[in-house]
Structure 1
Amino acid sequence: MAYRYDRDKQKSLKRRFLLILGATTFVFVLAFGLMVMFWPRLNLPFNTWQRIAIGLLIVAYGILRFTRLFRKDPDE
């Protein structure tokens, strides 16, 4: 019965706010990484493979942050 209580328990306001903020950050970081990779009007002083490498690093960072959103906090 305790498992059902934990599953049905509503998230705190702080937790909901951080989830929305984290999801918004993920979207913006993902969009920025794709812009670096594929938008030639950005005028970065890198050649094609360097732009793709930097863009992939930015996208990987966004994915890492997004996965960390769902990690359980030891305080909760």
Structure 2
Amino acid sequence: MLDKICRNIQKKSLKERFLLVIGILFFLTYLVLGLFIIFMKNFPLDMSASYRLVFGVLLIVYAAIRFVRIINDNKD
């Protein structure tokens, strides 16, 4: 399967590969930001723990949605 993905990436134009890399970077950014918000003890904004948890989970869910879209766009 990984071999198929690698061949598919090589078929893409330079612009499509660039957009794929940017999409992966933003997926990782949202995922890490969500985890930081949930687990950071000295969070700089004055938010209660429950709001931080909800906000972090929303960011992680959004990252998962972006990941699914990247995978679906890569199957073309």
Q: Where on the TM-score scale, by shorter chain, does this alignment land: which range?
A: 0.7 to 0.9
| Runs of 4+ residues over 6 Å off in structure 1 | none
Length-normalised TM-score, structure 1: 0.74
Q: Which has the larger radius of gyration?
A: 1
Give the secondary structure class of the aligned counterpart of 2:32: helix
For 1:54 and 1:72, locate their aligned partners in 2 and report how far apart those are by CA, in whole Å: 27
Q: Percent identity?
A: 34
Give the secondary structure class of the aligned counterpart of 2:11: coil
Q: 1:72, CA displacement in angstroms?
A: 3.9
Corresponding residue for residue 27 of structure 1: 28
Higher helix share: 2
Corresponding residue for residue 4 of structure 1: none
Task: Map 1:41-52; keep pairs closer than 5 Å.
Answer: 41-52=42-53
Question: Number of paired residues?
Answer: 68
For 1:71 and 1:53, locate their aligned partners in 2 and report how far apart those are by CA, in whole Å: 27
Counterpart AA for 1:23: I
For 1:35 and 1:43, locate their aligned partners in 2 and report how far apart those are by CA, in whole Å: 11
Corresponding residue for residue 4 of structure 2: none
Corresponding residue for residue 62 of structure 2: 61
For 1:71 and 1:57, locate their aligned partners in 2 and report how far apart those are by CA, in whole Å: 21
Length-normalised TM-score, structure 2: 0.74
